[in-house]
Chains A and B, each alone.
Chain A
């Protein structure tokens, strides 16, 4: 099944199966999203022209009239499209999965679904797949053909190296010249301080950031019993530990990481959504969309 088929099955068809009321609710949310995105953007000033009868008097530049007794209308280059960049973490840790799919597969589907929804409402969507560096970068575009390129890039990507999102985010921030939306889809298994710093930089670069944290349930519960040799997916040295003995300590460390991330995101005004790989993708989307 291709990514697109999966998105169809998981999102589109489910949307179609919703009751009319529910579909309207979803679509109104989507529409509201669109409008809210638009509202969130600034409109660029493009110059003056002479007033013509029928022009909206709200756009009359009264300062010019006060200075020159001329009736000039302000012209704007209005942004009607959202420019979203979907950043997908393709590090080795994303390859873990105890449920029916790995975190990376889940993240891929989520990325595709989000991208599809945005393309459908006429927004521009780009992709950056990365681990320690950017492996694929597709600038935002709003056509379906462009989206298919994004999907193809997604399908080609496989999890690999270590995680180092901070420098990657900084680089992406420098590439994004215009205001937009950055959706970060990662397991956040990185230095939280560095990651939050980079997110903060993105915010400084006038990007709205949404963080989707993809986690496997076992990464929270740590259900391992007895002596286990843990082999890292990012070339870390193996560790032999007694699962029963270290479980509580692991959970404390994990909780600490979560709390730091949540606090940091809240301070940056970044919405963080934790997605478990045994959760339905559709449910995650609805929850995410309901933020607005």
Chain B
């Protein structure tokens, strides 16, 4: 097959029409001449009309072909002979190679017994670079820089070898599909006909994401290319996987989780801090302990024993005296293993003094348990004294005014039938600026008004529009929850069973399809599949929507034990939700959305006290400051002059990198649909990637040669013209001599 390596220049073929256009324009400019010797012209035409026509046609053809050859040469056509599929017979390269070296420099590549696995990976990478020849071009894509702008390919193989030799592993998590995707995109910047995607991996299982079938299907489709594409071309690149021999399971202890036992951490009240330690080795842990610090101050240390392959959760209790931003750090002490980076974990939390919650009752009387929000008020503030983390205020709809919103973090709408347009606007501003809204529906809810003004087809403050009210013949039961969501932190291990006693007699079916993209989270579903509780982020805040009533009008959920932790979880989550997020992974950047004066300068420092570079930017339409990608785990501080204390950010490695499970050759082959070559050893690379074996032929030289030939033909065809003109000049000279000679 023939591939055109510069397809962007297809437009150049339009230049082929230039000689024809010039010819046609030339014919339009006709001068008229009275001529006496017509008989000679007529005689000439009678004898040579056909030849004249053929001469003209031939000249036009030659000129058109000449331009066509040049345009074709610029397209860089390359003829690829169909190569045998790669395998034991070695890889046949299609002409000069365009190689993209995809390096998995994730955290897991730092582990290793004698030396980090990453060093072995570099040897494989260098062996691959040795198999290239002058004229081959190569790109480097690192997992740790996969979000950075792409660079142009390089022809300096030696320089790249030096650069590869100096690389170190990073703290980022692996994402093999993302790396392959980045490689395919980078390949578009190359110009050589032969294409190779070289995946340099540490041979660990993490990051392959085999369960993400949609992503892999799309990748495999792109790697396969069009039906008749030859292997090793840019349409169907050769996939080469370089991985050190899979190592035996390495011993590794890691802190894989650090979290609070509640969504809202209130100042002055003790809160539980959970640390989960996992043992990925073959031996049990010995004499290790977990030490926990808050803002750098150690608050506790506890020894633990985790059997091989097991996990253990250790709980610490701490009272945060004042509101503000805190960084919690957990670290393994008295322990050394092959991957020290996962022996520490940090968590950033926002401690609130209390969360003001405004309950807007849609009924006639806001007081009492029987009102629309009576049960909710009791769940959040049982003694109605405001001494808990939630300071609850109950009002009727008539008392609801925009000016009230500034004093609260959370607003709850209980079966409100109607809202003034000014109130709808105020609520939208409220949530976009960081507030939280919980909307409960009920018998007084007006579907048309709600859809038109609150939901607006997904553009309003409500997470999604309503389809219709539903009263199932048999009450629906809450069935499935969004596991791991902070709302359910308070349920612990009982989160799967807590709902089964509740019944939902009536509810509004939610049109979850109208929410844009993946912004909508379904927190609680019913057994018939309909959503019961959903949430959606809006600007800096969150909105949750309960499809049924928050009182007992439509459901007996308020009468169940799960109701209180659920409502406290929702209200706590809405009231303490922090955006942009402050718990990051290596490779993320700090984004701090400045609510107040963006002109005042800010500063920041990293884990070792090193100053951070901050640049002004924007985030979702509001002024923000951004940092460079943070590659090192730890706690980062940001100083905003308009805040009483620093804002703390925590960067922690992905827990999946700690498992260090090897990926088998079969697993890799399955993921790549068998279309790959796998080498574990530099010697194998040398044997199979022979630089002397080049199958494809670039045709641009032949096109240019053809153009030269045609230029010669065109020149000789028109040379007669020049010769004839030369004869005229000679004739004129002779006549002048003759006349001069006769002058007496």
Q: What is A's interface to B at a CB cutoff of 8 Å?
A: 18-19, 22, 92-96, 103, 187, 189-190, 216, 219-221, 223-224, 226-234, 236, 239-242, 244-254, 257, 276, 278-280, 283, 286-287
Chain B residue at smallest Cβ distance from A251: B724
Cα–Cα distance between A55 and B326 once the two chains are bound (Å): 163
19 other A-B residue contacts (CB within 8 Å) besides A230-B38, A232-B36, A236-B39: A93-B36, A96-B37, A103-B36, A219-B36, A227-B26, A227-B27, A227-B30, A227-B31, A228-B32, A230-B41, A232-B35, A239-B41, A239-B45, A245-B52, A246-B41, A253-B43, A253-B47, A254-B37, A283-B742
Report yes or no: A253 in contact with B742, Cβ–Cβ below 8 A.
no
Cα–Cα distance between A241 and B55 once the two chains are bound (Å): 13
B52 → A minimal CB distance (Å): 6
Q: What is B's interface to A at a CB cutoff of 8 Å?
A: 26-45, 47-48, 51-52, 55-56, 720-721, 724, 728, 731, 735, 739, 742, 744
Cα–Cα distance between A233 and B37 once the two chains are bound (Å): 9
Contacts of B721 in A (CB 8 A): 244, 247-248
B91 → A minimal CB distance (Å): 57
Report yes or no: A245 in contact with B55, Cβ–Cβ below 8 A.
yes
Contacts of A283 in B (CB 8 A): 739, 742
Some 30 contacts from A to B, beta carbons below 8 A apart, are A95-B36, A96-B34, A96-B37, A187-B36, A219-B36, A219-B37, A226-B26, A228-B31, A230-B38, A230-B41, A231-B33, A233-B34, A236-B38, A236-B42, A239-B42, A242-B27, A245-B52, A245-B56, A246-B41, A246-B44, A246-B52, A248-B720, A249-B51, A249-B52, A250-B40, A251-B724, A253-B47, A254-B40, A276-B735, A283-B742
Contacts of A249 in B (CB 8 A): 44, 48, 51-52
Report yes or no: B52 in contact with A234, Cβ–Cβ below 8 A.
no
Contacts of B34 in A (CB 8 A): 96, 231, 233
Binding site of B, secondary structure by majority: helix, strand, loop or mixed?
helix
Contacts of B39 in A (CB 8 A): 189-190, 236
Partner of A92, one of B30, B36, B47: B36
Contacts of A22 in B (CB 8 A): 744
Report yes or no: A228 in contact with B30, Cβ–Cβ below 8 A.
yes
Contacts of A232 in B (CB 8 A): 35-36, 38
Report yes or no: B36 in contact with A229, Cβ–Cβ below 8 A.
no
Cα–Cα distance between A245 and B56 once the two chains are bound (Å): 8
Contacts of B55 in A (CB 8 A): 245
Contacts of B41 in A (CB 8 A): 230, 239, 241, 246, 250
- Given A226-B26, A253-B44, residue A279 in contact with residue B37 (CB < 8 A): no
A68 → B minimal CB distance (Å): 59
Cα–Cα distance between A232 and B37 once the two chains are bound (Å): 8
A291 → B minimal CB distance (Å): 15
Return the 6 tightest CB-CB contacts between A and B, nearest first. Answer: A96-B36, A93-B36, A232-B38, A230-B35, A236-B38, A253-B44
Contacts of A224 in B (CB 8 A): 33
Cα–Cα distance between A56 and B744 once the two chains are bound (Å): 44
A152 → B minimal CB distance (Å): 26
Partner of B728, one of A92, A94, A223, A236: A223
Chain B residue at smallest Cβ distance from A224: B33
Report yes or no: A216 in contact with B36, Cβ–Cβ below 8 A.
yes
A95 → B minimal CB distance (Å): 7
Cα–Cα distance between A226 and B42 once the two chains are bound (Å): 18
Which among A96, A241, A249 has the highest number of chain B CB atoms within 10 Å? A249
Report yes or no: A240 in contact with B38, Cβ–Cβ below 8 A.
no
A11 → B minimal CB distance (Å): 14
Cα–Cα distance between A244 and B32 once the two chains are bound (Å): 15
Contacts of A219 in B (CB 8 A): 36-37, 40
